[in-house]
Structure 1
Amino acid sequence: MTAEYSAHHLQVLEGLEAVRKRPGMYIGSTDSRGLMHCVWEIVDNAVDEALGGYGSRIDVVLHADGSVEVRDRARGIPVDVEPRTGLTGVEVVFTKLHAGGKFGGGSYAASGGLHGVGASVVNALSERLDVEVDRGGKTYAMSFHRGEPGVFDGPGPDSPFRPFERASELRVVGKTAKGVTGSRIRYWADRQIFTKDATFNLGELEQRARQTAFLVPGLQIDITDERPGSAPVAALESAAESSAESETTPAETGATVTTFRYDGGISEFAEFLAPDAAITDTWRLTGSGTFTETVPVLQPGGAMVPTDVERTCEVDVAVRWGTGYETVMRSFVNIIATPKGGTHQAGFEQGLMKVIRSQVDQNARRLKVGNDKLDKDDILAGLTAVLTVRLPEPQFEGQTKEILGTPAVRAIVANVVAKELTTRFASTKRDDKTQTALVLDKVVSEMKARISARTHKETQRRKNALESSSLPAKLADCRTSDVSQSELFIVEGDSALGTAKHARNSEYQALLPIRGKILNVQKASISDMLGNAECAAIIQTIGAGSGRSFDLDAARYGKIILMSDADVDGAHIRTLLLTLFFRYMRPLIEAGRVYAAVPPLHRVIIMNPGSKPNETVYTYSEQELHSLLAKLTKSGRRWQEPVQRYKGLGEMDADQLATTTMDRAGRTLRRVTVRDAEAVSGVFELLMGSDVAPRRDFIVSSSDRLDREAIDA
């Protein structure tokens, strides 16, 4: 460090150097999330072509060597020379930042790509990238090494590379049939950039492919996973889907191929996303609007001239209300997901609230509303909505495109939604009148429940642990009143409870035993759930309510720890408990206050010579046990036979349970996240739900994955 600071201390990063120096600016991070973002950049370019009506199939291949390949049957990347740079279109696209056909030049009416950096960023962050283009009856090819064009002398990124010295060459490597066009891009991510544990997530890739297939009706997306030992993730997910347009099949090479194609569009998407039974059909709200904005337009001479341009924004929304209270909202701009919303989502909520409030006011006497006012949450309860807008050159916040910022879109979406919904509510058709009446009844019921809960909260003071008379008799409570320090262990069975009572620190650790397996709340009604003794005991013990009235601040414990046996039944009980928390006490999971205890599987006593006391080592998996025994054998040390295998918490002594599972100094806890809970809910719906057909298909398709040695019987 020096106090001197002058112009010669400044650095100017040229071209792709800036991407390699600060990759997070372009892809968000250099872990698995950034690795997946690179895949989206290439896939979205192919989807933009399909969105414009060019090509109806995209193939994504995860190769066994760690590379990713994306193939499309669209127009193909331009291969002629771009006059300003003197480079072919392929080289411009992959080596020049802010270069592309999506800056308003007329090639795309609406697209997900906007900044012209996606393909070049992927190229800069790849150890090797190969591109092949079919155009004009020929197949053209070019390769790059960390963004530099040249020639590899063999397959793979480790082959010798010779960069072009004087001029780049777009090689002609074959011929194609007349009318055949398309692009094939294969790249190897640069491990100098990405972290060692960064991996391609097949589940995320399939979820994105499914989403895109819904948004572009008729587009087929095939995901092929050739990686050794990879599990067919979609086999579990698509087995639970009602649509037959998504299926997983084993390829001849042993790879897993998952196909996504949906012709129903966002109406089918809304039905797929809906978590509850419907009280309305899926309503489509469509329309468009125009607005004028001043944008710099590139002139033929190269100058940027501010010009007033009239834009058209097309709006397409699918909405349906269900019997539950959960809100599922998905918003998209030119098929790019905007998880953090933006002006289009704000306009949707504005138009929705305007119409529903107006309809409630008009039917105030029938609905017995009084002077109470609807809140946004009352209207959104039980709503599943898919919102899509298409417009040229939308304004996003940042390269990751998570928030739409174009101001004029808000008013257009609000007007379309208000107009279409007003027409629906004014309809004289019997079905429309029945469904709109049910919607009004539902939102008013939600409003009254919210007001009632607020009144109850304001008039009832919160009872502490000593004052409460409704706590279950079997609860072994703790002494502290400090919520941040207290812990509730939900224990499987009375035998484990007896051991845990002696193992716990009663100052801050409470114990609640449950008998066997609790109710499957996935399909049970709320009344059945509350009527179940074990579910009711858990809700009473935590003391924060359930469902929409759940109050996180009223929870009596800082940590909720699920402590079940390390066997199949224990995993089943943990799954049932997680389903209960996910459906009725989700804020606890979202706040990171639900954990799973990790008890050991084995106890190994290592014998020491002489009077030196023996050592006790606990292992938590078969692999860890074999590794330990091999290490002891190599060092010539002995251990007591047989090695103790814990089949339940009740087999452990109190000091062993305290040391391994309950004592804060030595235990391991696995925090449950929302993503974990959603996955558990989906798997539980498949394996324990009322629909038998998807479960049968899953068992048949996955039977070859069963390891008979892993069955503990």
Structure 2
Amino acid sequence: MGSADYSARHLSVLEGLEAVRKRPGMYIGSTDERGLMHCLWEIIDNSVDEALAGFGGGIDVVLHPDDSVEVRDSARGIPVDIEPKTGLSGVEVVFTKLHAGGKFGGGSYSASGGLHGVGASVVNALSERLDVEVDRDGKTWAMSFHRGEPGVFDDRGKAPTPDAPFTPFVADSELRVVGRVAKAKTGTRIRYWADRQIFGRDASFQPDGLVARARQTAFLVPGLRIVIDDQRSSDGEKTEFHFDGGISQFADYLAPDAGVTDTWRITGEGHFTETVPVLNESGNMVPTEVKRTCEVDIALRWGTGYETVMKSFVNIIATPKGGSHQTGFEQGLMKFFRTQFEQNARRLKIAATEKLEKDDLLAGLTAVLTVRLPEPQFEGQTKEVLGTPAVRNIVANVLTKGLGERFTSTKRDDKAQASVLLDKLVAEMKSRISARAHKETQRRKSALESSTLPAKLVDCRSTNVAQTELFIVEGDSALGTARRGRDSEYQALLPIRGKILNVQRASVSDMLSNAECAAIIQVIGAGSGRTFDLESARYGKVIIMSDADVDGAHIRTLLLTLFFRYMRPMVEAGRVFAAVPPLHRVQTVGRGSRQSETIYTYSEAELRAVLADLKKRNIGWKDPIQRYKGLGEMDADQLASTTMDRAHRMLRRVRVSDAEQAAKVFEMLMGNEVAPRKEFIIAGSDSLSRDRIDA
């Protein structure tokens, strides 16, 4: 572009947006996939704010094959008239001026996710091309931008592309009319190509993250329909979300365990005043005291587990790092339940020295906290932490009032749930206190001190945790064989009697009072639940060694459930294994100089393949072929060489590649709900071979 074409207009457009391009991290956090997704949600959140204000009930997000993304809504549409201060159309103001828009300074929105007025303009500045179409006043208006600068792309009748020749505007703001629509039809369509000068070539829109966020937003705005259409590949999916239950339904969806209480909904509001700079008629910023209203909406429930799932939002914008609203929530919880403990100390058998702590309250809690207020103070444009101080006391007061109504209710269900919840919190508190005392005195036991561990533990001599292995063995008969076959230097044995407690259904106190579960936790020596300390584990590997039959598989599943729920860091660290004992022992017949050979097989298919190979090589074998029904049928040498000897054994490492998905599977297979388990069994019945049933 020549100097004659470079007018003051270009300077006025680019002076702010150049800062965005030089320091993108200040506005979007990073220039990797997270920043790319942040830009997309800046655009989507503008449409969501319209839905919150009562305009437009649907949002469509399309991921195009050419690396562009499009967001469509049926809201009011961006204003197309001329903004008097700048002399530019509303569309150009929104997309080129920082701190401009309906949310900056109030007026159009009582509460919105956008508050700095920079979202659309930042996305525009970081896009190689952005096209916007607005349906309004019976017409479809259009404008295009190249790295933030308004102008016209010459697509020459072809599909739009950022490489098309571009001519910037020099004088007027030209909002083109490209079509006509019904007078009542309104909406906005924005399509943009992220600038690869800013974002890495490898950065791409991740459908999983997009779908999760869309689902979350649909929960937060009841009645809103959000469609994600991924057209980047032939097998791309189209996903639609629409929920009418709001955050109560969201809390039920997030909950990882069976409920101790129902999902309680608590709402309320509070008022506060703050001094903010306001632009007066003469264009000066004047400190002005304004009265604000903060609306609070909370859904919470306690479950049987110990995991905490906490989601907090301000004007439907997630605040993953919390802020004043989350601090108020936790303070309100603590204040209320400490008062309940004092009032019910005799019934709950609480000693004067036993004090409730935050971790006790949060164990098993699933909560969704939302607040709505005008112009919230965030720490940075990424809006991860709410800073408005007055919100803390408002949330705490609303929560304590709502919980107070539940705990003083005369309804039978409310009284029963309140009583059960207090019992759970007392159990969590006592469990934490005893675990802390146990941890303080817990030391690696030497041979002389081993009497403090369960008598049935057959410990190893080595104190090198990285080398040691704990075999959890099914039954005393297998223990005897394993004892003779083990390497006593680094292999320890712990026998269990039959099937342990199903901890997916049992409470924490039931689990701790169960002899088998307690023995396993005591022997591993790292605590359980929230207090589990991986560094304190007494063994480098835990190997579940059960029979290769249906009962053995059931026992292995029960043990894995125990580890998954109460010692998950062991699983996540890849330190839990399942031994793979053989199913068959084939003894070949030696002829002449050829020695007889022992071959172990681990499945019926492998046995058939081995026998076919022997027959082909004209090698005979002794009949009947031994079929191991249990570990106790092996002698010590056979068990050692096939299942325990590091040089020859086979282990299956138990991993948790997706903890949330794994938790759902565990709940389906081992939880209280029978219907999903029945559907799973029926769905998989066709693929089950009768030969696999050991009956």
Give the TM-score taking structure 2 as reference length.
0.73
Tell me if structure 1 keeps the 8 A contact 2:256–2:664.
Answer: no
Q: 341, 348, 368: which is aligned to 1:386?
A: 368
Amino acid aligned to 2:161:
P
Query: Secondary structure in 1 aligned to 2:15?
Result: coil
Query: For 1:183 and 1:27, how far apart are their aligned partners in 2?
Result: 23
Query: For 2:519 and 2:160, how far apart are their aligned partners in 1?
Result: 60
- Which residue in 1 is equivalent to 2:435? 453
- Report the aligned-residue RMSD: 4.5
Tell me if structure 1 keeps the 8 A contact 2:308–2:366.
Answer: yes
Query: For 2:200 and 2:89, how far apart are their aligned partners in 1?
Result: 33
1:344 maps onto 2:349 in alignment: no
Counting only pairs closer than 5 Å after superposition, residues 217-366 of structure 1 correspond to structure 2 as 217-228=222-233, 230=235, 255-366=236-347
Q: Which moved more, 1:104-113 or 1:528-537?
A: 528-537
Aligned length: 592
1:210 maps onto 2:215 in alignment: yes
Query: For 2:398 and 2:309, how far apart are their aligned partners in 1?
Result: 20
Tell me if structure 2 keeps the 8 A contact 1:562–1:595.
Answer: no
- Which residue in 1 is equivalent to 2:414? 432
Query: Secondary structure in 2 aligned to 1:310?
Result: strand
Counting only pairs closer than 5 Å after superposition, residues 192-211 of structure 1 correspond to structure 2 as 192-211=197-216
Q: Which moved more, 1:117-126 or 1:145-154?
A: 145-154
CA pair 575-33 structure 1, distance change in 2 beyond 3 A = farther
Per-residue CA deviation, residues 572-631 of structure 1 (Å, 9 max, x unaligned), is 999998765442123457xx744799xxxxxxxxxxxxxxxxxxxxxxxxxxxxxxxxxx
Tell me if structure 2 keeps the 8 A contact 1:579–1:677.
Answer: no
1:176 maps onto 2:181 in alignment: yes
Tell me if structure 2 keeps the 8 A contact 1:104–1:392.
Answer: no
Tell me if structure 2 keeps the 8 A contact 1:94–1:119.
Answer: yes
CA pair 682-61 structure 1, distance change in 2 beyond 3 A = farther
- How far did residue 342 of structure 1 move? 0.9
Query: Secondary structure in 2 aligned to 1:103?
Result: coil
Counting only pairs closer than 5 Å after superposition, residues 543-562 of structure 1 correspond to structure 2 as 543-556=525-538
- Which residue in 1 is equivalent to 2:17? 16
CA pair 512-260 structure 1, distance change in 2 beyond 3 A = farther
Tell me if structure 1 keeps the 8 A contact 2:439–2:527.
Answer: no
Per-residue CA deviation, residues 342-369 of structure 1 (Å, 9 max, x unaligned), is 1111111222222222222222222222
Tell me if structure 2 keeps the 8 A contact 1:472–1:541.
Answer: no
CA pair 197-137 structure 1, distance change in 2 beyond 3 A = same
- Which residue in 1 is equivalent to 2:626? none
Counting only pairs closer than 5 Å after superposition, residues 116-135 of structure 1 correspond to structure 2 as 116-135=117-136
- How far did residue 326 of structure 1 move? 2.5
- How far did residue 109 of structure 1 move? 0.1
Q: Which moved more, 1:107-116 or 1:203-212?
A: 203-212
Counting only pairs closer than 5 Å after superposition, residues 462-481 of structure 1 correspond to structure 2 as 462-464=443-445, 466=447, 467-468=449-450, 470=453, 479=462, 481=464
Query: Secondary structure in 2 aligned to 1:544?
Result: coil
Per-residue CA deviation, residues 364-408 of structure 1 (Å, 9 max, x unaligned), is 222222313222222222222211110000011111111111001
Query: For 2:669 and 2:494, how far apart are their aligned partners in 1?
Result: 25
- How far did residue 41 of structure 1 move? 1.0
- How far did residue 94 of structure 1 move? 1.6
Query: For 1:492 and 1:181, how far apart are their aligned partners in 2?
Result: 69
Counting only pairs closer than 5 Å after superposition, residues 623-634 of structure 1 correspond to structure 2 as none
Query: For 2:142 and 2:504, how far apart are their aligned partners in 1?
Result: 53
- Which residue in 2 is equivalent to 1:138? 139
Tell me if structure 1 keeps the 8 A contact 2:541–2:576.
Answer: no
Amino acid aligned to 1:172:
V
Amino acid aligned to 2:382:
T
Query: For 2:556 and 2:283, how far apart are their aligned partners in 1?
Result: 64
Amino acid aligned to 2:380:
G
Counting only pairs closer than 5 Å after superposition, residues 39-50 of structure 1 correspond to structure 2 as 39-50=40-51
- How far did residue 104 of structure 1 move? 2.8
Counting only pairs closer than 5 Å after superposition, residues 494-513 of structure 1 correspond to structure 2 as none
Query: For 2:216 and 2:27, how far apart are their aligned partners in 1?
Result: 23
- How far did residue 468 of structure 1 move? 4.2
Tell me if structure 2 keeps the 8 A contact 1:575–1:680.
Answer: no
Amino acid aligned to 1:212:
T
- How far did residue 412 of structure 1 move? 1.0
Tell me if structure 2 keeps the 8 A contact 1:30–1:195.
Answer: yes
Counting only pairs closer than 5 Å after superposition, residues 143-182 of structure 1 correspond to structure 2 as 143-150=144-151, 151-153=153-155, 154-167=158-171, 168-182=173-187
Tell me if structure 1 keeps the 8 A contact 2:256–2:663.
Answer: no
Query: Secondary structure in 2 aligned to 1:14?
Result: helix
Query: Secondary structure in 1 aligned to 2:16?
Result: coil
Tell me if structure 2 keeps the 8 A contact 1:19–1:121.
Answer: yes
Tell me if structure 1 keeps the 8 A contact 2:304–2:508.
Answer: no
Query: For 2:198 and 2:543, how far apart are their aligned partners in 1?
Result: 38
- How far did residue 134 of structure 1 move? 0.7
Query: For 1:159 and 1:517, how far apart are their aligned partners in 2?
Result: 67
Query: For 1:178 and 1:518, how far apart are their aligned partners in 2?
Result: 69
Amino acid aligned to 1:455:
A
- How far did residue 319 of structure 1 move? 2.0
Tell me if structure 2 keeps the 8 A contact 1:472–1:537.
Answer: no
Amino acid aligned to 1:428:
T
For structure 1, the 5+ residue unaligned runs are: 1-12, 231-254, 494-504, 564-570, 598-649, 663-668, 707-713
Per-residue CA deviation, residues 162-195 of structure 1 (Å, 9 max, x unaligned), is 1324134211111111211111111222223222
Q: Which moved more, 1:133-142 or 1:268-277?
A: 268-277
Query: For 2:390 and 2:683, how far apart are their aligned partners in 1?
Result: 50
Query: Secondary structure in 2 aligned to 1:344?
Result: helix
Amino acid aligned to 1:355:
F
In our comparison, the structure showing a higher alpha carbon Rg is: 2
Per-residue CA deviation, residues 82-138 of structure 1 (Å, 9 max, x unaligned), is 222222111221222222211233100000111112112222222222111111111
Query: For 2:379 and 2:18, how far apart are their aligned partners in 1?
Result: 23
Per-residue CA deviation, residues 655-693 of structure 1 (Å, 9 max, x unaligned), is 9999xx99xxxxxx99978x7323433455568867576
Query: Secondary structure in 1 aligned to 2:272?
Result: strand
Query: For 2:195 and 2:678, how far apart are their aligned partners in 1?
Result: 42
- Which residue in 1 is equivalent to 2:92? 91
- Which residue in 2 is equivalent to 1:33? 34
